Structure 1
Amino acid sequence: MAPRTVRRRRLGAVVAAVAVAAPLGVVVTAAPAQAAPWCNVSTGPYQKQVERFLKRTADGKQSLSDCRAIQSFQTRHGIAPNAGYAGPITWGVMSLMNQQKAAGKTPNKAGKCPVNKGRIACVDLTRQLSWVQDGRKLVYGPVPVRTGRDRYETRTGAKKIYWRNKNHWSTLYDVAMPYSQFFDGGIAFHSIKGSVWSPPGSHGCVNMRDADAKKYWSLLKNGDDVHVWGRKPGT
């Protein structure tokens, strides 16, 4: 048997083993452990925007150093392939970050989250932002979140936290969901490992950075209101 055929069969066996080990229905989207061993030196369609975001010379031309800087960003935020190409997914994440930064300390400027409910957790799907307010007072945030991907969209509307479990384990997806606060069926606020900017999104939950999920745990309780609106980019 030819060596190349042997290698292909071994690779197929490894892929099959991984597929069996992964829980049914779970799309494995863990951030790459390291950057791809090569760089795509082609100029991408969002080259200037990406260079500007990374505070590099925005000449619209890909260089090896540009590629490595883009690749580092992609690796940090679980964007695949992480080969340093300035494509639509990478720019989409950066553009979202710009919108989140622009929210500043007035995330409810447009008045989309009710101010007549007292303590309430607000979730803006469009900007992938969440915050806690009490009337018109901003209590905490805004903080970046990661909501449901296409076909698993986080449902919009008025909700209430009805169950909390600090050390929750999902039997459906066989993963840890620390600081879970459920507000809509199986949808909850909870922390995740890795980047909250990692595409394509969750299976419906509002994923948070660990420190933010801990703070939400300390601020909210059963019966508190949650309001969700907007539409996640790409859904």
Structure 2
Amino acid sequence: MRHISRTGTVAAGIAALVVPLAVTVVGAAPAQAASCTTSKGPYQKQVEKFLGRPVDGKQSAADCKAIRAFQSKHGITPTIGYAGPVTWGVMDLMNNQKAAGKNPNKAGKCPTNKGRIACVDLTRQLSWIQNGKKLTYGPVPVRTGRKGYATRTGLKKIYWRHKDHVSSIYDVPMPYSQFFDGGQAFHSANLSMWNPPGSHGCVNMTKTVAATYWTTLKTGDPVYVYGRKPGT
């Protein structure tokens, strides 16, 4: 597949689409239901703790309202306030991202002998820029490829950049695109970085982060992708 910018430049690319993951849960109301579910979910206590709710493992109207607000913010469907595996999976990922602190490469998995390099940890859905062992930017949450469109791992390099790129396949804007592996690129996306199930292979970022990557990285800079995104 190819992406063609509106200026006529051609580059292979796979754009990220907003396709929320529909989840069927036993005992929950249908996806189209507008009201809260009264059923407690299998991750009720964990979700309550994450949201700062009383941890009693029982579904309440207030619990449901808080869960629904979280689901709505991050595009988790059905938005019925059910403490299911997808909702808890997003929260658990957030906890793991927070735990990375300012030392995301503590395990030394991203090379420190390449000079300036952009690192992408699929497992924690984090990216950062380092120079040798020095962290220069991040870590920041990112949104990578979903099942069947996984962001490919390995050592790569930025080979083509286009600030105002647009996908010819989906007619989706891909601002601050920096391609590093065929059609896979860093670019901004106007949605939550925790929106499931993920992109079509690109590394999505917020506009602020993508703009910083754009001004920091240059053509030829190495990119290292490792790990495995949960569910892929």
- TM-score, normalised by the number of residues in structure 2: 0.87
Whether 1:182 aligns to 2:179 is yes
CA distance in 1, matches of 2:102, 2:16: 36
Alignment correspondent of 2:122: 125
Say whether residues 1:64 and 2:69 are aligned partners: no
Equivalent position to 2:161, from 157, 160, 164: 164
Structure 1 residue ranges (4+ consecutive) displaced by more than 6 angstroms after TM superposition: none
From 183, 198, 203, give the equivalent of 1:201.
198
Unaligned runs of 5+ in 1: 1-24
Cα deviations by residue, 1:91-134 (Å, 9 ceiling, x for unpaired): 00000000000000000000000000000000000000000000
CA RMSD of aligned residues (A): 1.7
Q: Deviations over 1:169-215 (max 9, x none)?
A: 00122100000000000000000011010000000000011111011
Question: Does residue 29 of the first structure (1) align with residue 11 of the second (2)?
Answer: no
1:112 pairs with 2:102: no
Question: Whose radius of gyration is greater, 1 or 2?
Answer: 1
Query: Which structure has greater helix proportion?
Result: 1
Equivalent-residue separation in structure 2 for 1:116 and 1:26 (angstroms) = 31
Instruction: Look up the equivalent residue of 1:229 and give its one-letter code.
Output: Y
Structure 1 residue 28 displacement after superposition: 4.9
Q: Identify the residue that residue 28 of structure 2 maps to in structure 1.
A: none
| Counterpart-to-counterpart distance in 2, 1:153 and 1:132 | 21
Q: Which residue of 2 aligns with 1:153?
A: 150
**Matched residue type, 2:154:** G
- What one-letter code is carried by the residue in structure 2 that aligns with 1:51? E
Identity of aligned residues (%): 70
> How many residues get paired?
208
Cα drift, residue 36 of structure 1:
6.2
2:212 to 201, 215, 233: 215
